[in-house]
Amino acid sequence: MAARVGRLVHGYKSEDASTTLLEFRSGALATVDCFFCIPDEASRTRLEIYGSAGALLAEGTIGQGSGGKLEGVFDLGAAAYDAAQSKDVARRFRRVPFPRVNPYTAECDAFARAVLENRRPPRNGPERSLHLLDVVARAYESARTGRIIALRTPNRGGRT
């Protein structure tokens, strides 16, 4: 992983901008960009996932609202890259239904229910939480040192 952070606009003690590049065991690459230094009106809060056979695009679904749209194109096959391809092709994205929830309040509600019912919150047990904390710590290390940092393999015995 490699990461960069910056304090570009706000006088926060923490950064208001970051970009992280991740490489998975399969060789797949991902970038995660977080910018708290731009006006809400300028951000479409996008999540884009691309694969060799399709894509999933979300807009306005990440944040403190319950709106947005999700669309995807699937089953395109594993065609090789064509350098002469036309970018003027008709896109076949279709809307994907999803539950309309505010992710912030839903997370707080799930945590409160787990505490009140004396049970473990779903999917985010201590092993996963420690792994995610390690990923964040290594991203900061990469940003601080300017080096590419290897991630530890998560504990597969627990919920990770």
DSSP letters, 53-114, are TEEEEEES-SSSSS--EEEEE-----PPP-TT--TTSPP--EE-------HHHHHHHHHHHH
Distances (CA, A) of 142 to 8, 29, 72, 130, 147: 19, 17, 33, 18, 5
Does residue 159 carry a pLDDT above 60?
no
pLDDT of amino acid 158: 43
pTM: 0.76
CB 67 within 8 A of CB 100: yes
The bridge status of strand 69-73 relative to strand 54-59 is antiparallel
Higher-confidence position of 115 and 89 = 115
Confidence grade of residue 160 (pLDDT, cut at 50, 70, 90): very low
The bridge status of strand 54-59 relative to strand 17-23 is unpaired
Q: What is the mean pLDDT of the chain?
A: 86
Q: Which of 23-32, 53-62, 75-84, 110-119 has the lowest mean pLDDT?
A: 75-84
Does residue 20 carry a pLDDT above 90?
yes
Buried b (16+ CB within 10 A) or exposed e, 121-134: eeeeeeeeeebeee
Does residue 80 carry a pLDDT above 80?
no
pLDDT of amino acid 32: 94
